[in-house]
Structure 1
Amino acid sequence: MPADTTAPDAPPDPGTSAQGRVPRSPDLAGVEAGLDALQTQPAPARRGRAALSRLWPPVLAATVLLVVWQAVVWSGVQPLWNLPGPRQVADAVTSAAADGTLWEALSTSLERGVLGFLAAVAIGTPLGVVVARVRWVRVTFGPIVTGLQVLPSVAWVPAGIIWFGLSDATVYFVILMGAVPSIVNGIVAGVDQVPPLLRRVGQVLGAGRVAMVTEVVLPAALPGYLAGLKQGWAFSWRSLMAAEIIAVGGSIGFGLGAFLQQGRELADMSLVLTAILLILAVGIAVELLVFAPLERAVLRRRGLQAETAS
């Protein structure tokens, strides 16, 4: 009978458990526990620190500007009535808020700006897709769209007054002419940056024309589209101010542009600076509350920004 050649059972490895798993050393377990604690840190705490880190730089910049402004006023380069200080402007803001003028102007301009921008998005988005995807349309109308974007929006105000009179239609017309070209060019730029491989993958998976645009091209072109939206909002807001400053009277209402023009007519520099600061504040608020979070979300989804930086 042949001898049993099976090797005797080897003694168990002291580092191996009965189930064959290698137990973790206390040091390794402590390191992993620490990493788990970092990864499971409460989300509100992370968001709070991230919000604070984004908040203090603008606050610091505003403080520095106020100090410089007050120093210039104290230097006496201009008389106080011609260059009021922060205190005089704060008094003007309080007075305008008390009599309702500030809130009327702010609400009127915000309503016009938001509605005009949404209309520009609704018109500019499909136009941008057509210009980006149809070659003959791009070759024919692409330079015209770019020229309209370069054209100052204020140039459309006289034409709008002649066509629509002193009414809100003039304001919205100027907003659309200023914002739509920027949105169109933003989509075109975003579509041009979509890798051809994504389109080929969509074709292999059987995506039709509509699915190719809605499920492949537009999601991939989202960063460029978002940049076009930001620029479109900037042009909307600037166009609105130009229209409100020039087109005064009739049924056009009282907005921030009319508020600024009123300060000029009264030679009240405090009112002028109040209107300017309100226009600036709206622009900053829209950037910080709307577009900045959208940009961070897009970057995170593409792995271009760390989660903890949000």
Structure 2
Amino acid sequence: MNVEQHPYNTWIDLVSRRLGGQTLDCSDDFFAEMENLLKPEAPVFIVDKYTDRGKWMDGWESRRKRVVGYDWCVIKLGAQGIIHGVNVCTRHFAGNAPQKVSIEACSIQGAPLADTDWVTILETTDVKPDSDNFFDIDSSHEWTHVRLNIFPDGGVARLRVYGEPSINWDWFLPNEPIDLAFIKNGARPLACSDMFFSSMENLIMPDRGKNMGDGWETKRRRGGRECDWIIIKLGAVGSIEKVVVDTAHFKGNFPDSFTLEAVLLEPGKMPDENTQWQTVINKTKLSADAEHFYKDEVVSAGKHFSHIRLNMYPDGGISRLRVIGYPERG
């Protein structure tokens, strides 16, 4: 099974650089820098590329260890959350991959220190060279950092940490409105009608889209359903008071119009074909390459919801969606 088709891709990569994931420290990165672990693109191999330290490799690679021990790398999650699985990718590390790996995690404010209490979430496990190595993580705790340990040394191309972001209540003031649909506040896209050109995750990412590829865009439809749609689990149950629909960079392919619907479901329940959606914003025209702000148009202010469905007519691309409201405290 390739990476794009793996079930972990229904979760969020919590160490993504887009969310603020960062390599903080490592025992050794003599041959290849630890920062490569979090590159968003797939690793590559360039046959005749060398540095003054040896073969250039697209990953994190330590020197050959001549003493007892192992190498490690500490990584700050871009969004704190519950970890469901990891991919320790050793692609192109055929003769220099680690023999085994383990992963520890902690939940702290600030950076880990020498006395930080680490908890093992992946026991020491064999890995295959030049492969994607997927491992389930059985933990319901919310983590802020992970430490990847490689035994005894070697190279890892990429690390992906898949899970559910969780809202950091310590950051918000009492009764402060927040973006309930923001990925770093715990929101997560569950399903969409189509994402032929770009991922549905882009819709709730930080900042404005950097280009037309940094949004959610569907293919041109020729008949069939009335509109394209996306369902998002909000980061917290709350009311919806303001909405921003941003079509940045979508100039010849923005939707003609949209509606926004929402529903309040019991914890753990997922929307299905029987879900009774309530209107939040009635069908409204959109324009090219612009932020659209809605407050008076919200017809459900004060009601609480757990999930939203954005419908765009008939198809096209939207860069970002912001759903501002008052959350129920977790």
Normalising by structure 1, we get a TM-score of: 0.21
More strand by share: 2
More helix by share: 1
